[in-house]
Amino acid sequence: MTAAAPIPYLELSGDSHELGRQHGAARAAQLRAFLDDGTARLNHLLDVPVSPDSLQPVLDAFRSEVEACVPDLAEEIRGLAAGANLTRDEALLLQVRREILGYRSTSRPGGDCTTYARVATGWCATLAQTVDLNGNLDDQAGVLSIRRSGSPRQVLILSFGGLLGYLGLNSDGLAVGINLVLGGPWRPGVPPYLAVRHLLDNAGSVDEALHLLGELRLASSRSLMLCDERGAAWAELMDGRMCAVTGTTLVHTNHFLHPEFVPFDELNVFARNGSLRRLDACAQRLRALPQDAPLVDHLALLSTPPIFVPDNGDIRRERTVATVAMRPMLGEVCLVGPQPSTQPQIFTVGATRTVADR
């Protein structure tokens, strides 16, 4: 394996505003450059350019929803703005960027994450996934270690471009992954990335996370993969509804799997065929992987086509910008960036970052 530039690691502690302030201060230059690059690169991806001013009514609507549903995270967004010297609209824009991008019909197959969970015995419970994004976001990746005042729970989050949440695990032994699925209206609500963070902040098990998830008004359709020492679940969310399936081995890509949601799937036929290929390839590879396989073997499972989506030079096309494997009971996150041959990094709850030597 070759070495690569390490993904930045931030240790954040304090109340909600202080968590955001520390995050913003540490990433101020990067976030300013990101926002100045075509409004967080949205204008490289959208057909009609946008700006924070043009998005004011949309941002106001999102702010109302976030403040009502996840007030701790709303305060953390205000802290992010203060720490990075951003306007509050800019800090919020970073959280709702994917919802502003929306979804478009496209003939390109692309990718949008392949995720699985497998629960064997104790520490062998594993949640792993590719992170497939457009916008060349690998330069915006970071890992956040979060200790909120008054909470005994520590959270590890993989973040991109100032996001307070994306995927991760907590010290209670809960891991959460995410897939894009397309269906129903997208409208102001809680962005799913913030929902992931809310679950990790407040839930200690799959059952608790499903309960909290059912109480949120999500802004857009998603599938979340949940895993703890006892079991796993995926939850598909669309238009204010949730359908969940539990099990010990679960795989999800980017088409709806629950029969209630399948008729509403708006993924085009080309992307759906790609999603089906990735689902089948992942399930087949997972069956061949020993139950006690190390995390690096889970990374390897995800690191070749069709699951791994290479860069073809098109900023509008989704590609694999990171591959992640997590052991929730060990509080361990193992990840590599867009080059799967590079040496993985290990991040652990309660410890500083180390580089994997296995």
Tell me: the pLDDT tens digits for 188-201? 999 999 999 999 99
Query: What's the pLDDT at 353?
Result: 41
- Alpha-carbon gap, residue 208 to 14, rounded angstroms: 24
Q: Quickly count: other Cβ atoms within 10 Å of residue 124's Cβ.
A: 16
pLDDT, the chain, mean: 93
Lowest mean pLDDT among 65-69, 123-127, 329-333: 123-127
All CATH 1.10.10 domain ranges of the chain, comma separated, are 9-101
CATH fold, domain 9-101, is Arc Repressor Mutant, subunit A (1.10.10)
* Mean of pLDDT values over 237-264: 97
The answer on pLDDT for 120 being more than 90 is: no
Compute φ and ψ for 223, nearest 5 degrees: -120, 130
Whether 104 shows a pLDDT value over 50: the answer reads yes
Ranges of CATH 3.60.60.10 domains, the chain? 114-348
What mean pLDDT is predicted for residues 225-242? 97
Q: Provide φ and ψ at 216, rounded to 5°.
A: -90, 150
pLDDT per position as a tens digit, 23-75: 999 999 999 999 999 999 999 999 999 999 999 999 999 999 999 999 999 99
pLDDT, average across residues 178-205: 97
The predicted pLDDT at position 106 comes to 42
For 267-295, b where at least 16 C-beta lie within 10 A, e where not — what string?
bbeebbebbebbbebbeebbeeeeeebeb
Instruction: Give me the CATH code for the 114-348 domain, please.
Output: 3.60.60.10
C-alpha distances (whole Å) from 352 to each of 144, 147, 329, 330 are 11, 13, 17, 14
Average pLDDT on 76-104 reads 95
To 5 degrees, how large is the angle CA 323–CA 23–CA 77? 100
Q: How far is the C-alpha of 116 from the C-alpha of 108, rounded, in Å? A: 24
Question: Concatenated DSSP letters for 268-296?
Answer: -HHHHHHHHHHHHHHHHHHHHS-TT--HH
Is the pLDDT assigned to residue 358 strictly greater than 60?
no
Task: Report the share of the chain in percent with pLDDT over 70.
Answer: 94
Instruction: Judge whether residue 337 has pLDDT over 70.
Output: yes
pLDDT at 103: 78
Average pLDDT over residues 158-164: 98
Task: Map 340-354 to HEC letters.
Answer: CCECCEEEECCCCCE
CA dihedral of 283, 284, 288, 289, whole degrees rounded to 10? -30
Q: Is 195 helix (H, G, I), strand (E, B) or coil?
A: helix
**Cβ contact 185:28 at 8 Å:** no
Structure confidence at residue 5 (pLDDT): 81
Q: Would you say residue 17 has pLDDT above 60?
A: yes
Is residue 107's pLDDT more than 70?
A: no
pLDDT band, residue 112 (cuts 50/70/90)? confident
| Separation of alpha carbons 125 and 137, rounded Å | 29
Per-residue pLDDT band for 124 (boundaries 50, 70, 90) equals confident
* β-strands 332-336, 249-252 pairing: unpaired
Which segments within 122-231 are labelled E, that is strand?
126-133, 141-148, 154-160, 167-170, 175-180, 222-227
